[in-house]
Amino acid sequence: MTGTPRRRTDAARMKAKARRVYPHDPSARNANHLAACSCPMCGNPRRHADEPTLQERRADAALRHPD
Q: Is 6 exposed, middle or buried (0-12, 13-18, 19+ CB in 10 A)?
A: exposed
pTM of the model: 0.50
Whether residue 40 is predicted with pLDDT greater than 80 in this model: the reply is no
pLDDT band at 4 (very low <50, low <70, confident <90, very high): very high
Whether residue 67 is predicted with pLDDT greater than 80 in this model: the reply is no
Q: Tell me what the mean pLDDT of segment 16-45 comes to.
A: 79
If you count them, how many residues does the chain have?
67
How far, in Å, CA of 1 to CA of 39, rounded?
37
Whether residue 48 is predicted with pLDDT greater than 90 in this model: the reply is no
Whether residue 36 is predicted with pLDDT greater than 80 in this model: the reply is no
